[in-house]
Structure 1
Amino acid sequence: MSPLAPLKASSLYFTPLPPSHVVPAGKESHGRYMLTIPWNRVSGWGQPKIAARQELSFDPLAGVLQYAVTCFEGMKCYKTDNGDLRLFRPDKNFDRLKRSAARLGLPHDWDNDELLELFAKLVALEAPIVPDTDGSSLYLRPTLLETSEGFGIKDDAFAAEALLYVATTLNLGKGLYPSSDGEGKGIKLDACKEFIRAWPGGTGSYKLGANYGTVNISKKPGYAMSLWLHGKEDFISEAGAMNVFIIKQAEDGFLEFITMSLDGGIVLPGVTRFSLIQLLTEHAEGKKDFPLEGMPKNVRVVERDISMPEIISSLENGTLKGMFGCGTGVVVVTVGEIQYQGQTYTIPANPLIKLLRDTITGIQRGKIDEGRGWSFKVPEWDVEGKEGQDEEKVVA
């Protein structure tokens, strides 16, 4: 058997927008282009194509339609003051997409550098529409799904055909950006007991489409998101689609940033979460100063379960010093209020949350060089002339 074709950026086929191109009504906030890369279990990765954003079609019994065999990522492209485009730690998103894809029996064997080259070309085409204001960005949604028939009993759990595509849109999460700016700006959460987002041994730590659509119904009017609970102790896990941190004063005088451990497989290993933990831990250990001034030295990161009763008791005794969520869409947002068992609890604001947000966004926009190479500068792409190979002709 001949080896499967790898994903190759050099075989890209690019179709520019025609002069007559008109953005459909209601789609003005979306990117004009999209990237598609087919995959086949027999032949491997097909030809990458960048062309006008368009609808997709599948067999009625495709795995994505019948059994939600799909996973995705959330990424952002930022424009610096100099007009450069930046991506934040794209390799982390690609690795997480591979992990999610493997969980579903989808292809997960691409070279990250090849995929990054294709991403860079896609966002370079959208450079004119990428905003440069604070809190704004071009959001990228890489999605991988089973296009082959997934109905009924199969010989194994692996897809026969799949599609990796990337669509873009503007300013996802921008509306929550000011929530970290001070007292009274925090978001409201409803501590949800009626619906369960994830459980040990499930798929909560993977970014699967089914993890999100099935629990959207839980969101209550007047609240930004649901705060997911689990276990008889009402441990918190995530809020909406973001990781959660509690800031708490410890008995030894240290300020603890507490977040749920990844060991239980319930919470998503967020890229923003991981980056914050790394920045705080290296600062606390004296390996690297925190990128912006104002972070105390006597801090520590703690990964453990924390329950709603503990949050309430910490509020009552004054040791709870703040609470925030983090993720690609929201970056870092202050939690200002939680409804739990019919009562409303006000969470104190903490200026360190804004410091965290400004640090991450400063790195993302190239304003802060954290010395780790987290901000990837997108090369300019001159699309004049022929790019890549001729379009492949597929004969059924």
Structure 2
Amino acid sequence: MTTTTSSSTAAASSSSLTSAPFRASPLFFHPLPASHVPLPGKEAHGSYMLQVPWSKTSGWGQAKIVPRADISIDPLSGVTQYAVTCFEGMKCYKTESGELTLFRPNENFNRFKVSAARMGLPSDWDNAELLDLLCKLLALEAPIVPSEDGASLYIRPTLIETSESFGIKEDGNAGEALMYIVTTLNLGKGLYASSEKAETGLRVDADPNYVRAWSNGTGKYKVGANYGVVNIAKKPGFQMSLWLHGSEDFVSEAGAMNVFILKEASDGVLEFVTMSLDNGIVLPGITRASIISLLKDHASGKKEFPLEGVPKNIRVVERDIPMKDIMDGAEDGSLKGMFGCGTGVVVVSIREIQYRGRLISIPYHPVVKILRDTITGIQRGRIEKEDWVVKVPKWQGVVNGEKEAEGQKVIA
């Protein structure tokens, strides 16, 4: 098995050396007609989509930005038969001055590559070329990007196997694939206020009968199959599931979020405890990593936390979190709070857990709102962190300095 996988990977790598690389130019652009009206039920979606096809034999095809539309795929394709797909979650923000920004897009693209490679999908694109294309797509959607807090344009880069993948193949890698990016408004906005105060925190259900991921599985990859299980496990009256694993019911994620607990340690230090990435069960979240980076800088004295209110005497701990720790901490008072974080929700407080027939109340800690306001402040340009923010240049389908005639298909 190892020999086959290695030879397949080597063959794929060798093939990629002679096939067409991923390029942002030439770009095929098809403007929307002036008469364009969104389809019923799709008014909240962006009007355009980016598409880049790929073939094992010829490499990456021409990039296209076209009006958003359905795609056609083989009914025996890898995505329909075996869920051979991965995706990313990103957001575009509008600053107070009207500029569009992206938050750490290269981190998303790098994770996208890791997920793609795990699924046998192409992963050799150039991040700078992909960013160029994404910025052009977002520039076209600029009029609908909201500026109010809690609102944003959500971005969904997706990669699917489009070649037939039915039965046993000699090569486990995809033969053909399609990368596409679509956008939609305000994913997660409804939970934005969940960090404001105790009574607005989320209620989550921890059911040991449902397991999201396991050690050395695909939990750390953003693959489609990981997320199809989310809704079926959700209980009425609870916003999402708190995923458990192992003999001690260790906490992994909540819904599709990374999780932190706030715990006062025996030495009086306030610990921000989150599950380690070592066993591959949880997704290496971009928001998670950003929070850890900011907290560690603050704790070490390297750089003050951007907003006031975070205690000085803190530390970040990455380890397994058994449910017993949460229950004991709730009883003895050492548990000071709990929150989830991710692209969609940013940072949200968790106020109650249903677990094995009992309800566990979680204290509210004001640092949760400070974390949320810091991350969103950076995203919207209110807090300076230039190395984490990319500004989206303006673009309206201009070719050679001249705007093309309305409705005309052009190469940019």
Fold shared per TM-score above 0.5: yes
State the partner residue of 2:374.
359
SS in 2 for 1:9: coil
State the partner residue of 1:288.
303
Q: 1:111-151 CA distances to partner (integer Å, 9 max, x unpaired)?
A: 10000000000000000000000100000000001000011
Say whether residues 1:241 and 2:256 are aligned partners: yes
Q: 1:283-335 CA distances to partner (integer Å, 9 max, x unpaired)?
A: 11111111111111111000000111110001111000000000000000000
Aligned mates of 2:172, 2:411 — CA distance in 1: 31
SS in 1 for 2:182: strand
Please report the TM-score for the alignment, with normalisation by the length of structure 1. Answer: 0.96
SS in 1 for 2:25: helix
Say whether residues 1:144 and 2:159 are aligned partners: yes
Aligned mates of 1:277, 1:264 — CA distance in 2: 18
SS in 2 for 1:119: helix
State the partner residue of 1:229.
244
Contact persistence 2:219–2:283 (CA under 8 A): yes
Per the TM alignment, residue 214 of structure 1 is displaced from its structure 2 partner at its CA by 3.0
Aligned identity (percent) is 64
Per the TM alignment, residue 36 of structure 1 is displaced from its structure 2 partner at its CA by 0.4
Per the TM alignment, residue 194 of structure 1 is displaced from its structure 2 partner at its CA by 1.6
Aligned mates of 1:11, 1:200 — CA distance in 2: 43
Contact persistence 1:35–1:50 (CA under 8 A): yes
Per the TM alignment, residue 33 of structure 1 is displaced from its structure 2 partner at its CA by 0.4
Q: Flag the structure with higher helix content.
A: 2
Say whether residues 1:374 and 2:388 are aligned partners: yes
For structure 1, which runs of at least 5 residues remain unmatched after alignment? none
Say whether residues 1:60 and 2:104 are aligned partners: no
Look up the equivalent residue of 1:383 and give its one-letter code: G
Aligned mates of 1:391, 1:151 — CA distance in 2: 36
Tell which deviates more after alignment, 382-391 or 59-68.
Answer: 382-391
Per the TM alignment, residue 191 of structure 1 is displaced from its structure 2 partner at its CA by 0.5
State the partner residue of 1:205.
220
Say whether residues 1:92 and 2:107 are aligned partners: yes
Correspondence for 2:318 among 303, 315, 324: 303
Look up the equivalent residue of 2:209 and give its one-letter code: E
Indicate the RMSD between aligned Cα atoms, in angstroms.
Answer: 1.5
Per the TM alignment, residue 3 of structure 1 is displaced from its structure 2 partner at its CA by 1.4
Contact persistence 1:189–1:339 (CA under 8 A): yes
Q: 1:68-126 CA distances to partner (integer Å, 9 max, x unpaired)?
A: 00000000000001000000000000000000000000000011000000000000000
Correspondence for 1:8 among 23, 45, 66: 23
Aligned mates of 2:62, 2:334 — CA distance in 1: 56
Contact persistence 2:152–2:185 (CA under 8 A): yes
Correspondence for 1:315 among 322, 325, 330: 330
Per the TM alignment, residue 373 of structure 1 is displaced from its structure 2 partner at its CA by 1.3
Aligned mates of 1:209, 1:229 — CA distance in 2: 19
Aligned mates of 2:167, 2:69 — CA distance in 1: 30
SS in 2 for 1:26: coil
Say whether residues 1:120 and 2:135 are aligned partners: yes
Look up the equivalent residue of 2:397 and give its one-letter code: V
State the partner residue of 1:41.
56
Contact persistence 1:34–1:165 (CA under 8 A): yes
Look up the equivalent residue of 2:359 and give its one-letter code: T
Aligned mates of 1:391, 1:374 — CA distance in 2: 32
SS in 2 for 1:247: strand
Please report the TM-score for the alignment, with normalisation by the length of structure 2. Answer: 0.93
Aligned mates of 2:291, 2:247 — CA distance in 1: 29
State the partner residue of 1:81.
96
